[in-house]
Amino acid sequence: MVNKTPKKNPQKDSSSSRYTAADISVLEGLEPVRKRPGMYIGGTGIDGLHHLVWEIFDNARDEAMGGFCNTIEIVFLPNNRVRVTDNGRGIPVDVHKQTKVSALETVMTTLHAGGKFGQSGYKISGGLHGVGASVVNALSSFCRAEVHRDGAHYAQEYSRGEKKSAVKKIGSSKKVGTIITFEPDEQIFSAKGGSASGGKGEIPSFDWSTIVSHFREQAYLVRGLRISIIDARNYEGKINLDDVFFVSELGLEVLSVSFYFEGGIASLVQYSNKDLKSLHEEVFYVNKESEKVQVEVALQYVDDISSRILTFANDTRNPEGGTHLTGFKAALTRVINNYAKKNEIMKESEGGFTGDDVLEGLTAVISIKLENPQFEGQTKAKLGNPEARSAVEAVFGEAFSAFLEENPGEAKTIISKAILALRARKAAKAAKDSVLRKGALEGLTLPGKLADCQTKDASESELFIVEGDSAGGSAKQGRDRRIQAILPLRGKILNVERARIDKMLASKEVKALVIALGTSIGDTFDLTKARYHKIIIATDADVDGAHIRTLLLTLFYRYFRSIVEAGYIYVAQPPLYKIKRGKEISYAYNDQEKEKLVGKNTLEIEAVEPPEDELEPLPDRQAGSPLNLKPNRIHIQRYKGLGEMNPEELWETTMDPTKRVLKRVTIEDAREADKVFDTLMGSDVLPRKTFIQTHAKMANLDI
């Protein structure tokens, strides 16, 4: 049957005809920033909160890059306020010809206004001055800009991007520089990710370790710049900042850190490798200009199978790399191949090195400076300038080639490292081909003891990785078969921190997990083929369980990082105690919850529970109040492992999507995570011992 119903004319559709100019929204001033803060700072959680600090600091740092500033102070004050001071030239306060108001007000309240658009203010900068300052202003409930210049002290205050008064001269001053104080807006930021709808939430606290790590890195990048960080958030006394330029002058008894480095990025490479065994003592370094791009590169190889590369453009970190990284990799691969062939170090039958071969064990810092950086997004995650690639490739390629020729010992060590990587790559490919042949997951029995789920929709599928056959048995019986798959692992899997793929796939437990995931591994990895979008690690709440969990996280981080970054990895939170009296059953996930339920001095009975008829019913009590009962009437079962739970208990406490608690595994700082895995799972004992001694008091061990 043919449907002859005529199609509607979209031009005559009543809904489209009502689409008029009135439907077009025009956001004025800084309204776009408050409406879509994620476009400007990447998010409204803790990362976005930190980004506010980075933006104001970057403006001060650009003064240092221009040679106008040598000290920057960042102070964290009570009520989440942040104060950033630099001794640069001070933002101009005279009237701007175009806006007809003070240049300071223009910079703080207007997007895309500042001294970095033309060439008169800054030749080199990390971004566009005014974008960062105005964005921070827009997202702050309180903001105050102070300028010391021309013998005077000026100030202006704002709230949520709107000025509270005109720029005023509030006194005389012998200082020169700028002070920006801001308080993040509780309407925007919250511990749960924030909201731009006007609702208030609890603002997360600035993370001190993240702050210190970021500014240490910045101090390496700008030689001769002193960066001081002061944590006065918990200072109980009154801090009067009315006539204070640098807070350090007050001598407060608070936590403070200062950084000052003369060695530049070569020192940063050495710092990154301080807990690793270097393969050559001398750090390669070059600093030269090409095509109006200043190129600075430092590198050193270490005894490891991972690579660590940091990229910067105008001293702004580019976590996703960009054209400068592309040029570096191309030159590195070409130079090492040419040297190996020229000196007949590598057999012809082995072919040439790939990019992955020459990157293995490499620690490198690439820092370029150019006049008009083109970043993808306000967060400057990736550089897009095409001239950056050719400049880095030319400068680094020429200098590194000369380095190898002049240092034959270091060259031989580097080439030998690459040859080992090449041979391991070929062995790993052979191993993968035998295990992960094309179509291995289609129509064939899945490996190991995997009890797969019924659905083929990966977005609703869950894989529980459990410890041992006993826990596996309970999980298989208690699960929702439609969406939940169970994979029991026997014992502790291989520590893959320094294991290559061929050795890794020789482990039956690891191989079973790899095949079950469905993504393949290495250069054939494909995230879109993941069979489960929730991969849940469910191990016992003891030391052995924690070790197995760490081994699994090491495997995922080193070989399946994209799965972690996609948010597919979770850690289950099984209860430690089952508390029963009468027919009422409660579960406690830690000792604090248990004490809240039964009191601190209650006698715990962990033997076989008495019959139901021997238990008295619970007296009436308000929800959440402690059980004020006789000790011998409360029966507490302490779970030694998941295997002690029957299927119903495991489902109710750990697997039921409506009741369970899962922790999602994320990578907040990939470089710091890489360092931690190296320390804890590597072969060098001393760094691990030092780490454990330093963080021993933070551990919560159930031995």
Is pLDDT above 80 for 701?
A: no
Q: What is the pLDDT of residue 685?
A: 63
Catalytic residue check, 544: yes
Query: Which among 80, 283, 289 is positioned nearest to 190, based on CA atoms?
Result: 80
The residue-averaged pLDDT of 369-387 equals: 84
**What distance in Å separates the CA atoms of residue 335 and residue 323, rounded to the nearest whole number?**
18
When pLDDT is cut at 50, 70 and 90, the band that residue 703 belongs to is very low
The residue-averaged pLDDT of 234-261 equals: 93
Q: What is the pLDDT of residue 670?
A: 58
Q: What is the pLDDT of residue 263?
A: 87
Is pLDDT above 70 for 564?
A: yes
Please, are residues 62 and 122 in contact by the beta-carbon 8 Å criterion? yes
Known binding residues for Mg(2+):
467, 540, 542
pLDDT in tens, 82-141: 999 999 999 999 988 888 889 999 899 988 655 443 444 555 555 433 468 999 999 999
When pLDDT is cut at 50, 70 and 90, the band that residue 694 belongs to is low
Report the SS3 class of residue 71: strand
Asked which of 285-294, 328-337, 387-396, 544-553 is least confident by mean pLDDT, the reply is 544-553
Catalytic residue check, 86: no
When pLDDT is cut at 50, 70 and 90, the band that residue 175 belongs to is very high
Is pLDDT above 80 for 639?
A: yes
Q: Which residues contact 580 (CB under 8 A, 6 or more apart)?
A: 586, 609, 615, 634, 635, 636, 637
3-state helix, strand and coil shares in percent for the chain, rounded to the nearest 5:
40, 20, 45
Is pLDDT above 50 for 621?
A: no
Asked which of 86-100, 274-288, 498-512, 564-578 is least confident by mean pLDDT, the reply is 498-512
When pLDDT is cut at 50, 70 and 90, the band that residue 193 belongs to is very low
**What distance in Å separates the CA atoms of residue 216 and residue 211, rounded to the nearest whole number?**
9
Amino acid at 535: I
**What distance in Å separates the CA atoms of residue 335 and residue 329, rounded to the nearest whole number?**
10
- The string of DSSP letters for 90-104 reads ----SBPTTTSSBHH
Helix H segments across 110-207? 131-138
Please, are residues 245 and 176 in contact by the beta-carbon 8 Å criterion? no
When pLDDT is cut at 50, 70 and 90, the band that residue 690 belongs to is low
- Our measurement of the distance from residue 517's CA atom to the centroid of its chain's CA atoms, rounded to an integer in Å, reads 24
Q: What is the pLDDT of residue 616?
A: 43
Catalytic residue check, 360: no
pLDDT in tens, 459-468: 999 999 998 8
Q: Which residue has the higher pLDDT, 551 or 611?
A: 551
The residue-averaged pLDDT of 35-63 equals: 90
Is pLDDT above 80 for 559?
A: yes
| Residue of 542, 593, 604, 669 marked catalytic | 542
Partners of 570 in the β-ladder: 536, 664
Known binding residues:
467, 540, 542
> How far, in Å, are 54, 382, 510 from residue 126 at the CA level?
11, 13, 45
> How far, in Å, are 61, 74, 86, 174, 525 from residue 54 at the CA level?
10, 10, 14, 28, 35
Q: What is the pLDDT of residue 571?
A: 94
Report the SS3 class of residue 125: coil
**1.20.120.1630, 3.30.43.10, 3.30.750.210, 3.30.230.10: CATH of 265-432:** 3.30.230.10
Q: Which residue has the higher pLDDT, 176 or 424?
A: 176
Q: CA-based angle 419:420:424, to the nearest 5? A: 115
Q: What is the pLDDT of residue 41?
A: 87
Strand ranges inside 398-541, DSSP E: 462-467, 484-489, 534-538
Is pLDDT above 90 for 543?
A: no
Is pLDDT above 80 for 681?
A: no
Dihedral angle over CA of 246, 252, 256, 259, nearest 10: 40
> By percentage, how much of the chain surpasses pLDDT 90?
49
Catalytic residue check, 542: yes
Q: What is the pLDDT of residue 21?
A: 47
**3.40.630.30, 1.10.3720.10, 3.40.50.1980, 3.40.50.670: CATH of 458-574+664-698:** 3.40.50.670
Is pLDDT above 80 for 433?
A: no
Query: Which among 108, 118, 100, 93 is positioned nearest to 29, based on CA atoms?
Result: 108
Is pLDDT above 70 for 238?
A: yes
Q: What is the pLDDT of residue 583?
A: 80
For residue 319, report the phi and psi dihedrals to the nearest 5 degrees: -60, -25
| Residue of 467, 497, 509, 652 marked catalytic | 467
Q: What is the pLDDT of residue 27?
A: 45
Structure tokens at 139: 């997202």
pLDDT in tens, 116-130: 434 445 555 554 334
Q: Which residue has the higher pLDDT, 42 or 430?
A: 42
| Residue of 304, 452, 540, 652 marked catalytic | 540
Burial of 369 (0-12, 13-18, 19+ CB in 10 A): buried
> What's this model's pTM, rounded to 2 decimal places?
0.67
Q: What is the pLDDT of residue 375?
A: 85
Which position has the token pair 């061990």?
701
Q: What is the pLDDT of residue 377?
A: 65
Report the SS3 class of residue 340: helix
**What distance in Å separates the CA atoms of residue 111 and residue 1, rounded to the nearest whole number?**
60
| Residue of 150, 544, 591, 648 marked catalytic | 544
Please, are residues 186 and 200 in contact by the beta-carbon 8 Å criterion? yes
Is pLDDT above 90 for 164?
A: yes
Q: What is the pLDDT of residue 505?
A: 76
Q: Which residues contact 60 (CB under 8 A, 6 or more apart)?
A: 69, 72, 84, 85, 86, 88, 178
Which position has the token pair 């793929």?
501
Q: Is the CATH code 3.30.565.10 the one for domain 31-259?
A: yes
Is pLDDT above 50 for 700?
A: yes
Please, are residues 655 and 475 in contact by the beta-carbon 8 Å criterion? yes
The residue-averaged pLDDT of 409-433 equals: 85
The residue-averaged pLDDT of 284-290 equals: 96
Structural domain spans, the chain: 31-259, 265-432, 458-574+664-698
